[in-house]
A = this chain, B = another copy of it.
Amino acid sequence: MSEELKLDKKNFTEWYERVLKYAEVLDDRYPLKGSYVWMPYGFKALKLMLKKIEELLDETGHQDTYFPLLVPISIFKKESDFLKGFGGSTLRITHVGEKSLDEELVMRPTSETVMYYMFSLWIRSWRDLPLKLYQIVPIFRWETKMTKPMLRVREVIKFKEAHTAHATKEEADQQIKEGVEIYSKFYDFLKVPYVVLRTPEWSTFAGALYNYDHVTVMPDGKATELGSVINLGQKFAKAFDIKYLDKNEKKKYVWQTCYGISERALGVVLSLHGDNKGLIFMSKIAPIQIIIIPILTGEKDNEKLIEWAKKLKEELKEYRVKIDTSEDTVGSKFYHWEAKGVPIRIEIGEKEVKEKDVTVVRRDIGKEEIVKETKLKSKLKKLLEEIDENLYKNAEKFFKSMISETETIEEALKILESKKGIVKIPWCGNNSCGKQTEEKLVGEALGINENEKGKGICPVCKNKAKHMLYLGRTY
């Protein structure tokens, strides 16, 4: 591909669209708004990401399961807040071929109703608790909002949703902490900076007591939720009659939590780490970690070069390595694999074969080094770590720079309209004040950071602030 990408990350929407297409992460030409086709390169990254979240859930005692995608409407309607929250964007199935169904079905927008129907059959006594399950499945939310690959879709292809049931409120609260920690570890692994916010009451998940979101800021200054950890309390337990016999033989409703993240996580990593040359994959989810480019001269020595390249690849088999022996020019190969975000490039030429060393180039800062073959393995390990750390450092710097603090609505509005990002504003804790602030800022109240005390006075009621309310504009 010789065509110049002419990327400019300042025009984020265009950058994102072009780079995903060029790098063959996914194709946005399927004729159904909000549904995308995952190409092998992008899907490989997604699978590597999934592996990590599976590990984190497995090692904390969550068990992997798979529940049906379709929900009979009578079951879907059992919890009224949930129905109110999701009913409007849920796809409804009325016919099979020309025949109408006996009972209408809906496609899960998330699996509460599907799973909790079964929970009511499975949970009998305190011995069955806690129950900690997860599944990785497609879900469908047919929203009318603007769509964007991975970041705002109508078909989430790999929703990672965990659902737990507990004997007591305390255990459920404790589980929320575990859920938050799992997602923190996940985003630490992905080198994505975030803040954990407790969502304000008026935008809590439909049917829930409270929830926490991991939130970051995208290159265009939009705030983005990275995942939700939700304390469902007993509403679903009551709607689905999920009871257990406690040790005193008394019937009690369970306490429930759930938490989910989508492939948005990948969209965010790629957005935060990329630059004007294209993607930069952090090493752990890079479909190709090392690209070897033999500098072919068209001479008879080429065979030797390719042979050595293959030997190197074999030596580096703990990594995901590819050799590019295509007929493109060296320059366009460099350009191509940089745009595809491969973290490390190894160049080998005749000289290198003779001297048994290679040129190693970092994708993130472009630094070149000559490395002896004998030291290559340990060098690569170190370099990949350094690249990941550097990606995080830059992302974190940006993230911090995009969080502003102000005491007045006017100034906050100015920030959200120029620099963008997130603004923190004093808040008395009263819902009506929070909602008013939200409306005035034409933004979304993302929540409060519980590790942070309020400073100053609430700009609405002028009372002393209990919290700092985080607000931003989202996709």
Contact = CB atoms under 8 A, between A and B. Distances in A.
Interface of A: 27, 29-32, 35-40, 43-44, 46-47, 63-70, 72, 75, 87-98, 105, 107, 114, 117-118, 121-122, 133, 137-138, 140, 142, 155, 157
6 contacts: A30-B114, A38-B65, A40-B133, A47-B64, A69-B140, A88-B97
A30 to B, nearest CB: 6
A65 B92 contact: no
A426 to B, nearest CB: 38
A74 to B, nearest CB: 8
Contacts of A91: 70, 93, 95-96, 105
B155 A69 contact: yes
B118 A27 contact: yes
Contact of A32 (B32, B70, B97): B70
Residue picked from A37, A64, A72, most chain B C-beta under 10 Å: A37
Contacts of A30: 67-68, 114, 117-118
Contacts of A47: 64
A117 B30 CA distance: 8
A414 to B, nearest CB: 37
A136 to B, nearest CB: 11
B94 A66 contact: no
B92 A95 contact: yes
A326 B222 CA distance: 52
Given A27-B118, A38-B67, 16 more contacts: A27-B121, A32-B70, A32-B72, A35-B68, A37-B66, A37-B67, A38-B65, A69-B138, A70-B91, A70-B155, A88-B96, A88-B97, A89-B97, A90-B97, A92-B97, A93-B93
Lowest 5 CB-CB distances: which A-B pairs, in order? A40-B63, A35-B68, A38-B66, A88-B97, A96-B142
A68 B117 contact: no
Nearest to A88: B97
Count of chain copies = 2
A31 B140 CA distance: 20
Contact of A65 (B29, B40, B90, B142): B40
A46 B66 CA distance: 10
Contacts of A35: 68-70
Contact of A68 (B63, B75, B94, B155): B155
A68 B29 CA distance: 11
Nearest to A26: B66
A100 to B, nearest CB: 10
Given A31-B75, A32-B70, A65 B37 contact: yes
A46 B64 CA distance: 11
A118 B70 contact: no
Contacts of A27: 118, 121-122
Contacts of A38: 65-67
A29 B121 contact: yes
B87 A92 contact: no
A433 to B, nearest CB: 32
A75 B46 CA distance: 27
A66 B36 CA distance: 9
Nearest to A35: B68
Nearest to A98: B88
A30 B115 CA distance: 9
Contact of A44 (B64, B87, B95): B64
Given A68-B37, A69-B138, A72-B31, A107 B93 contact: yes
A85 to B, nearest CB: 12
A370 to B, nearest CB: 35
Contacts of A95: 91-92, 94
Nearest to A68: B35
Residue picked from A30, A117, A118, A133, most chain B C-beta under 10 Å: A30
Contacts of A97: 87-90, 92, 142
A94 B121 CA distance: 32
Contacts of A121: 27, 29
Contacts of A70: 32, 35, 91, 140, 155
Residue picked from A39, A66, A95, A157, most chain B C-beta under 10 Å: A66
Contacts of A92: 93-97
A68 B36 contact: yes
B96 A94 contact: no
Given A87-B97, A118-B27, A155-B69, A105 B32 contact: yes
Given A40-B133, A72-B32, A92-B93, A66 B157 contact: yes
